[in-house]
Structure 1
């Protein structure tokens, strides 16, 4: 009797620990909307060539306007924190009708450092409006 009780308790303890180890934490999950750290209006200026641009993030939308380029917008945003102030943002990007801009899903990587943001392969933006 005692031997079977010990065996049953050992089996229950083993199953409990086994199922607990299967439920791992998902630290890198996608979250709806945009991170609070990126929300607001961001601009850049290049005085050498008189160039400017602006990115605006709200809770669920994205908008970008660069000088001489059609305005693009994004909706259905979700984001993931990658680490070291870097975010991946996945959105449905679309442009104004008649601009020839192709609509579709896109993922962009944005790094935030010292109060500025930098979309991957782009210039540094700082807070402000045009």
Structure 2
């Protein structure tokens, strides 16, 4: 978990220090991610993303909103908020709504992006815990 927090913090600092000429291409993107509670593959189409866990089987489906466009301030263009739901094959924490903040870093001509995100999931099983979770990875646009 400390590694994920370090990666998310580093990506946020890097994004804040670099000027972004353009956002990564809209359209279909696929990639991999490492995170908590699961690591696996991710697919993004415009404002929707799906993350499927391989190490711990699970799935998360989210809508995303670009903060630069939403707030009308392009200095926030590399950042986005997301909200959706998550199910994880875990005996204690299985499913619930989630929301958080992410940042992207286009690489090269913008066909590849690095991303980091952190947020909370409110698990409705057992105790109804709210867990802080994060992920970092890369996606390639097609």
TM-score (norm 1): 0.49
Higher RCO (CA < 8 A, seq sep 6+): 2
Task: Name the one with the larger strand percent.
Answer: 2
Structure showing greater radius of gyration is: 1
